A = this chain, B = another copy of it.
């Protein structure tokens, strides 16, 4: 299949598929006579794996490591577990940060649409 179809099937953009190839995350596919990339099932699997990992918030470096592991089924699962655990910890930290942020901004009280900036709670909160 050509790049447009694999993009549609994986949910990636065409440019992103090419980008992943340039980054070495997928091997360069064969080319047609007209120099078009021709993908097969294994590319589809690999790109889907990447897409899914990215959707779950793993960084490209983490994806790289996960792919390396997935490529070698004899390898121990420990490293994959560690990557997942680190990622969960990151998510929890971000959740805590955002929750605190939301609380702080919400604490400013409702809107104050009627007044001028001079009495604006938003500007005031940022100034001190």
Task: Say whether chain A's binding surface is mostly helix, strand, loop, or mixed.
Answer: helix
Segment at the interface with B among A4-12, A23-31, A32-40, A119-127: A119-127
Within the complex, the shortest CB–CB distance from A25 to chain B, in Å, comes to 13
| CB atoms of B116 and A73 under 8 A apart | yes
Known: A74-B117, A117-B73. A122 touches B88 (CB 8 A): no
User: Interface 1/0s, chain A 96-117, versus B by CB < 8 A?
Assistant: 0011011011101001111111
Known: A88-B105, A102-B95, A108-B84. A77 touches B120 (CB 8 A): yes
| CB atoms of A118 and B73 under 8 A apart | yes
Chain B contacts for A126, CB-based, 8 A = 49, 52-53, 56, 66, 70
- 9 A–B contacts, CB within 8 A, in A order: A45-B127, A56-B105, A70-B117, A70-B126, A70-B127, A77-B116, A80-B120, A81-B111, A91-B105
